Amino acid sequence: MPAPVTVTVTGAAGQIGYALLFRIASGQMLGPDTPVALRLLEIPQAVKAAEGTAMELADCAFPLLDSVNIYDDATAAFDGVNVALLVGARPRGAGMERSDLLEANGGIFKPQGEAINAGAADDVRVLVVGNPANTNALIAKSHAPDVPADRFTAMTRLDHNRAVSQLASKAGVPVSQVSRLTIWGNHSATQYPDVFHAMVGGRAATDVVDEAWLGGEFIPTVAKRGAAIIDARGASSAASAANAAIDHVHDWVHGTPGGSWTSAGVVSDGSYGVPQGLVSSFPVVSANGSWQIVQDLEIGEFSRSRIDASVAELVSEREAVQSLGLV
Ligand code: NAI
């Protein structure tokens, strides 16, 4: 057996944490040959609940689970980390302005970025799940100047998977028949699920599915799916969010299948007119352990205006955290 990979999960006692940890420990994220040393980071009030989860992890007797340790201190939790899943975040409370939300999250993601900078392993990969995910990733990255910027990513894979599922269902095909969908921009209601390059069973999605549905119902259905889940379940998406985090890291480490791509929030290199340095969702492939933005896709007028609107929101979030001194 190789040496264990150290995986730190923040917000480990939360609902996504509960859906995520068992799948990591069973090998679904890093593969059946990779032992995992789990680190659970929580706020002090939630450490006891994290201890309960650690007891259940032990009770599963996962052959790949090397160890479980619990922390309430970011510096210790990220020391030597290989994969950091930043799930814990401050939700928007009643009467909270956007700047309050960004400031509260800055208080979490700035010290976590600093801790990753101070102690992470050279190959560290960071996935930010906690919302506002793209801007939280930007904050963490800004405080980790010694870590290559392309190691910081934000999760839009849940949006991607939702879009794949909606399109497959509309076309009456299994999800495995859908490829080349893209989520652009922010993980928010402004995100743009783009089907103009998507394929359904070897044919262009636009030839298979009614264009009025694609341009109309499809986009809000994907963008508002999180709210629909809350409405139905009385709680936000947890198992599907955990699943998306597993998919994201799995594909980052093991590569995306040939002939298609996925979506991830990555640091923009200026591709597709997205300002450099923003953490924005793009079509991406992974090979040799790093993401590459898929280049040279034709972007029509409809797509351009949607991408621009979501990127404008990211720019305004960046300006807000700049004015708070967080980046
Ligand atoms: P939750 O409220 O059940 O759990 C959050 C956990 O984070 C709590 O246990 C809390 O104690 C912990 N926490 C808070 N501050 C912390 C800190 N500084 N260090 C370590 N832990 C800390 O929330 P849930 O449902 O697990 O969601 C977590 C986040 O994921 C939320 O921000 C949510 O909006 C976001 N999310 C993102 C999605 C995406 O697609 N990017 C999808 C679904 C949720």
CA-nearest residue for atom 30, ligand 1, is 130
- Ligand 1 pocket test target in 78, 87, 127, 247 with most atoms within 8 Å of CB: 87
- In this predicted structure, the answer to whether residue 211 has a pLDDT above a threshold of 90 is no
Average pLDDT, the chain: 96
Mean pLDDT of 43-63: 98
- In this predicted structure, the answer to whether residue 259 has a pLDDT above a threshold of 90 is no
The tokens describing 121, both together, are: 């392993």
Label residue 96 by pLDDT band (50, 70, 90).
confident
Mean pLDDT of 260-269: 97
Instruction: Kindly state if the Cβ of 183 falls inside 6 Å of ligand 1.
Output: no
Domains defined along the chain, listed by start:
5-154 (3.40.50.720), 157-316 (3.90.110.10)
Using only C-alpha atoms, the chain has a radius of gyration, in whole angstroms, of 19
Label residue 35 by pLDDT band (50, 70, 90).
very high
Note the pLDDT of residue 65: 98
Note the pLDDT of residue 108: 97
CB 25 within 8 A of CB 100: no
Mean pLDDT of 144-166: 98
Note the pLDDT of residue 110: 97
- In this predicted structure, the answer to whether residue 123 has a pLDDT above a threshold of 90 is yes
Task: Tell me the residue type at 234.
Answer: G
ipTM: 0.99
- In this predicted structure, the answer to whether residue 215 has a pLDDT above a threshold of 80 is no
Clarify whether 187 is annotated catalytic: yes
Query: Which segment of 18-32, 100-114, 212-226 scores lowest on mean pLDDT?
Result: 212-226
- The ligand 1 atom at the shortest distance from the C-alpha of residue 235 is 25
- In this predicted structure, the answer to whether residue 186 has a pLDDT above a threshold of 80 is yes
Expressed in angstroms, the distance from the first to the final Cα of the chain is: 41
Residue from 174, 172, 140, 181 nearest 264 by CA: 181
CB 66 within 8 A of CB 94: no
Note the pLDDT of residue 10: 98
Note the pLDDT of residue 185: 98
Note the pLDDT of residue 258: 86
DSSP letter string, 74-108: HHHHTTT-SEEEE---PPPPTT--HHHHHHHHHHH
pLDDT higher at 216 or 224: 224
- In this predicted structure, the answer to whether residue 276 has a pLDDT above a threshold of 90 is yes
Query: pTM value?
Result: 0.98
Residue 23 Cα, ligand 1 centroid: separation in angstroms? 17
The tokens describing 319, both together, are: 């300006």
Label residue 98 by pLDDT band (50, 70, 90).
confident
